[in-house]
Chains A and B, each alone.
Chain A
Amino acid sequence: MWDYSEKVKDHFFAPRNAGAVENANATGDVGSLSCGDALRLTLKVDPDSETILEAGFQTFGCGSAIASSSALTEIIKGMTLDQALLVSNQDIADYLDGLPAEKMHCSVMGREALQAAVANYRGEIWQDDHQEGALVCKCFAVDAVLIEETIRANSLHTVEEVSNYTKAGAGCSSCHEGIEAILNRVLNERGEKFDPNAVAGERQKPSSGLTNLQRIRRIETLLEAIRPNLRRDHGDVELVEVDGRNIYVKMIGACAGCQMAGATLSGIQQHLAEGLGEFILVLPDSELSRRKLTTAASA
C-alpha cells in the first residue's frame, strides 16, 4: 500500500474546491487516459488584477491525483496568474508533505492543468512539454526524446548516468527497461553496444592539469563573473561541492524556485566548462544529498 502522508489523505478524503467553478473564464484540460489520470481545472480570474478568485477541479484519477488537484486549487487561490505560473509540481508535492516517488506525475499533471488554464485565459494555445515523445519516466515526467537527446549529447552509457542527467529512472525504477532500450538504440547507431553490466564510469579525473585547490578557485572566479547576471534577476548561486567532474551548486533567491533553474544550470555549466577547458557537469545541490543517500543505502 502507498505510504500517503496525512495531508494527502486529508485532501483525498475531503477534497477542497471539487467541481467546476461557475462562470469560469479559464479552463485547463490535461491528462492521459492511458495513465488513468485526467484533470479539468476551471478558474475565475479577475480581469483587472488577473487574480485567481476561484479555482475548481474535476479529476479522474487515483488518490494522489485527487489530492494533488485539491492542493493545487488551494495553493493558487488568491494568486495572480503570474504568481500561479511559478508554482512547480514540487510545490504541490511539498504542500502535501510529499508524494511517493511513483506518484510524482500526479503533481506534474496539476501544474500542467494550471499552465493550460492560464493559456486558455490569455487566448493562447498551450503546448505541453511532452508532445514529442511518449513519457518514459512517469515519476519525473521525462519523455523519450529528452532521454535520447541527453544520451547523444553527453555520450551516456548506463541507466544510472541517464538518471543522473535527466532524473528519468530515479524514482520507482520501473522505466529502467525502457531507458535500456533507448540506450541500446542510440548506442547501436554509434556502432557501440549497450552493456547492461557497465557501471557508470569512475568519476573522471579532472583533465585541466590544475590541482584541486587551483581548480576550485578557478571555479569560484568563474562563478563570480556571472553573479551580476543572476543578481539582476534577484538570484544567486553558491558553490557547494566539487567532486571530480561533478560540480554541485545551490541556487539561491529567485533562482531557487525558478522555472528556469534548469536552463540557468546549463548556462552555468557551459560557462564553467569553457572557463576550465574540460568536460564538467553542474548539478543542483539536491542531487548531492540524494547521491549521498543512495550511496549510504547501497553501502
Chain B
Amino acid sequence: MAMKTLKDKYCIVGVGETEYSRGSGRTTRAMAVEAMRNAILDAGLRASDVDGVLDYQGGDSTFANHVAPDLGIRLNFYMDVMGGGSSTEALIGLAMGAIEAGMCNTVAIYRSMNGYSEFRIGGTGARAAQPVRGMDLAQVPFGMRSAGQTFGFTFMRHMYEYGTTSEQVAHVKVAHSKHASQNPKAIQKERVTVQDVVGSRWIVKPLHLLDCCLETDNATCVIVTSAERARDLKARPVYIMGVAGRVSKPRVDYHWVHGPISRVAGYYAKDIVFGQAGIGPEDVDVTGSYDAFTFTTMLQLEEYGFCKKGEGGAYVSSGIIELGGKRPNNTSGGHLCEGYTHGMSMVIENVRQLRRTVDDTCPGAADGKHSYDYSVGKCRQVRDAEITMNLGWAMPATGSALIMRI
C-alpha cells in the first residue's frame, strides 16, 4: 500500500553542533545545551519558539527534560528514544508527526554523547565486561560483541556473492578523507590512499582499522518546523520531501537469521522514501550514507538503487562519490573522518550543502560564496546542490532515509 506523503510541508530550519573531540571534558548535558543553542540561533528562533524536544540514546546521554529547561524552553512535547544509528531520520519523521498532530509547533532533535571518553561506542571497556544474558547469548559467548563483529558476516557474504573487494570499499575512506581535508572540524583531516586502508591492521576480517569510524565526543541538533512557520525565519528553509524511519528486514533482532544477509534494510525503505518524494536516485545530487564502516556506505548506496545490486564496490571506487564527482557522499568526511555522531552530522552537512553554506575554509562560506576548488584544505561545497539524500544505518536489518531539497 502506498504510504502517505507530507512532501514539502515540513522543513529543517536550524542545525547546530559542538566540536568533534576525543575528550570533551564535560557532560553530555552541557554539550546538548550548546548544540541546541547553536541550532536555535542558526534558525533565527528564540528559545520560547521551541516547544518540542526529541533525543535518542542508549543510556549514555542526558534526557530532553533536563536539556530544555537549561535553555529556558517550556515543553509542549518531549520524548527520549532508545536508539542509535538511523534514529536521526526517524526522529525527524516523528517530529513532523507530532507537529501534524497538533501537539507542538517546533521540535529540536539532539544526540549528545561522549562516545570516546565515557561510553565507548566500539564496545570496549566497561561494556565488554557486562554479564551476558537474554538475546546476547546467541552471539556474545562466541566473541561477537562490537558493531564490527556483528556486521562482519554481512560484508564477507557480499564479497562471496558479488566479488566485492577490500580495495573497492577502501575508496569510501579515501573519498571521505578527501572531504574531511576541507573540513576544519574533522578529527582526521589527512587524506589517505587505498593502500593506507588495506595496509592498516586487521580488526575483524574483513575489516581493517581504517574501514572503521572514529569514536567521538560530540553533540548535534536539528530543528524541524512547518513550512508555513519556516517562511518567516532567518535561515533559508530546507524542505523535507520524504522520510523513512527504522525500516527493517524480517527477524530484526538477529539480522543474520534472515537471508540473503548481503541485503540491507534499504531494500524495504527505498520505495517508501522515493515514493513520498516522487523522485528516483538519479535525481539526487549529494548523498549522506552512514559510514560506521566503509562497507556500510557501499551496501546502502547499492540497496537504494544508486547502482545495481552487487555493483556497490564498483560504484564507490568509480570517483562518483568524491567531491567533483557526479554524486558526492558525506562531504564533511562523515563518521570515518569527521567523527561519529550516530548519523546526525550527515543530515546537518546536507542541510548546509543545500543552503550553499558548508563551513569549509572559503572566506565567504557563510554567505554562500565558494571557490569550488577541491584541492587540499580548500572548498567542499557542491555546486548547485538541489536535492540531498541521507541513508541512516542501525545495522544490516534496520535503516532510515531522508530526502531534502532547497
Say if A and B assemble together: no
